[in-house]
Chains A and B, each alone.
Chain A
């Protein structure tokens, strides 16, 4: 499976990172109730693989409470962006861990409530001091019980207690912006309790995650960091022959390919189901295959055991062009960056060709054995996302609608005619708690149509929402093909009684090129007029990716003065004719 390197590898590699700087930076604090030496090096090296410089603070051994409750602790001085609170059942349950039936049930229930309150108290204290995100490990349920097989017949034993603790933790922080849970119990189940817990390491140095599996634990941490930094991939580009089905349709024919309820066809049915489940939570799908179009489409349209159908794919490239050109075209059509793409192909040569030509595309090495494909895909951490928004769930469908929009565009004589035919409606509203997760996601991820590319975490945006010096709005875009959801965000800083400054102005790539941005800006101007504002100022901060927005300010009658571009409120800027505004 995902063969992990050893801890010594990470320790050695981390030394080579000294002095190296990467574009992205993150400050991580590790607070633990037991020895996790080596985790720092693992996370540093893994982060470097993603182009992230990780600055890591390791709290002193088993002093997480002291660190959190002391406002002058080194932990707070470090100013982390994200904190991992690593605790386990032994630490939390103490004596009861070995003697769970020493106390009567009612006392044990009280004890669980107390333990949960202790964690809640720490978390509350922490959130008052820091805007950082905190990831709390839940507790593993041990498989050994002094009662052996009769444990299941007993009321409220250790596993019941831990389950209750975990559920309470989940329930409490389910909707929290700052707090999330790392499911340590599932991590232990996945790798096996006997593998994760090595008594020798435990007695030797209070090591409760076997150092052999510490790199895998590092991988769990990476899932949160990928999501936190907005590095989650958006699109899965798939090969067909020997990837979505076994065999080669051009040679084996419609009836000869392996796809169906019997082995080995069943592995491809399962693999397609895994892909579909990713699509249903928002991953865009595309095809990149060297094949005769008609042969391959016949399978996709007519094969009785195909799980994926034509409508699941937002872009289909079945031709004899090289795979790299096809991927570039897919990215262009879908208006996404190459760094949003994962390319799956069984062929090692294709993998290498894409990897070396398009280094931004993530190309995993599919296992040799297709029966491992499904598990492999499920284990990829590149699609990790902390919170799935409604927009995520709809994304796949929205991109399929985009395919139809593009067809309409080709059939329209000019852009205005096309835009008129779209029946565009935009809704602009102030950001509230419901729209916050999606707004935060856009702020963290939007690269192309982004004026300043400032990144704010959900907690920081929440502070701005409640700050009268800021005005934060989002735009929702609808057209005759469907709802695109929340696709634009602006943050206005009320600099003075006469001047507003655009801090952030962005639009998702899926609605670019429809003058939505002009509609958004005219709305801001009208709001400014209501407040007797004389000027709106903005900076344009160029990046490697935001070329699409470079003409936005001059197109909206802004004039360049020093560092800022200035819009005089009396300039007449009309609202785009083909847009309908709802407020």
Chain B
């Protein structure tokens, strides 16, 4: 999505990241599913509007970020 890692903050989402389209957002979740070997439900996918939401759902699956 062309965002430098250092400038990412939890409250960011489609509103603040121009390239976070519905499709790109899904590709990101798909990559996380593959990378962490987890599955998001369709409810979780629809619920994601910020980076914090993604972290929360990952945490529920046992993936915790520092």
Contacts and interface: CB of A to CB of B under 8 A. Distances in A.
B36 interface: no
A30 to B, nearest CB: 15
B44 to A, nearest CB: 10
A403 interface: no
A205 B23 contact: yes
A11 B27 contact: yes
Majority SS at the chain B contact face: helix
Contacts of B45: 200, 204
Interface string A29-73: 000000101100000000000000000000000000000000000
A203 B31 CA distance: 18
B7 interface: no
Interface string B17-31: 000001110110011
Interface in B1-47: 2, 22-24, 26-27, 30-31, 34, 41-42, 45-46
Contact of A8 (B2, B22, B31): B31
Interface string A1-35: 00000111001000100000000000000000001
Contacts of B26: 201, 204-205, 207, 211
Contacts of B41: 200
A212 B29 CA distance: 12
A200 B42 contact: yes
B42 A211 contact: no
B66 to A, nearest CB: 24
Contacts, number: 31
A8 B42 contact: no
A41 to B, nearest CB: 10
A15 B22 CA distance: 19
Q: Is the interface of A mostly helix, strand, loop or mixed?
A: helix
A6 B23 contact: no
Interface in A192-206: 200-201, 203-205
A203 B43 CA distance: 11
A204 B42 contact: yes
A7 B29 CA distance: 12
A201 B45 CA distance: 10
Contacts of A211: 26-27, 30
A7 B31 CA distance: 9
Contact of B27 (A15, A38, A200, A203): A38
A205 B29 CA distance: 13
A15 B31 CA distance: 18
Contacts of B24: 11
A450 to B, nearest CB: 44
Interface in A211-257: 211-212
A200 B23 CA distance: 13
Contacts of A207: 26
B42 A37 contact: no
Nearest to B46: A204
Contact of A38 (B22, B23, B31, B42): B23
A438 B30 CA distance: 46
A35 B24 CA distance: 13
Given A8-B31, A212-B30, A203 B42 contact: yes
A278 B46 CA distance: 49
A201 B41 CA distance: 11
Contacts of B2: 15
Nearest to B23: A37
Contacts of B22: 205
A264 B45 CA distance: 48
A224 to B, nearest CB: 25
Contacts of B42: 200, 203-204
Nearest to B41: A200
A499 B30 CA distance: 64
Q: Select the residue from B26, B42, B45, B46 with max chain A CB neighbours within 10 A.
A: B26
A38 B27 CA distance: 9
Contacts of A11: 24, 27
Nearest to A198: B30
Interface in A167-213: 200-201, 203-205, 207, 211-212
Contact of B31 (A6, A37, A201, A205): A6
A38 to B, nearest CB: 7
A205 B46 CA distance: 11
Nearest to A199: B42
Q: Which of B2, B23, B46 has the most CB of A within 10 A?
A: B23
A347 B26 CA distance: 41
A200 B27 CA distance: 13
A175 B42 CA distance: 45
A7 B27 contact: yes
Contacts of A6: 31, 34
Nearest to A7: B27
Contacts of B27: 7-8, 11, 38, 211
B46 to A, nearest CB: 8
Contacts of B23: 35, 37-38, 205
A168 B28 CA distance: 41
B64 to A, nearest CB: 23
Contacts of A35: 23
Nearest to B2: A15
B20 to A, nearest CB: 13
Nearest to A211: B30
Q: What are the 9 A-B residue pairs with the smallest beta carbon separation, nearest first?
A: A37-B23, A200-B42, A8-B31, A204-B45, A211-B30, A8-B27, A203-B42, A7-B27, A204-B42
Interface of A: 6-8, 11, 15, 35, 37-38, 200-201, 203-205, 207, 211-212
6 contacts: A7-B27, A11-B27, A35-B23, A38-B27, A204-B42, A205-B26
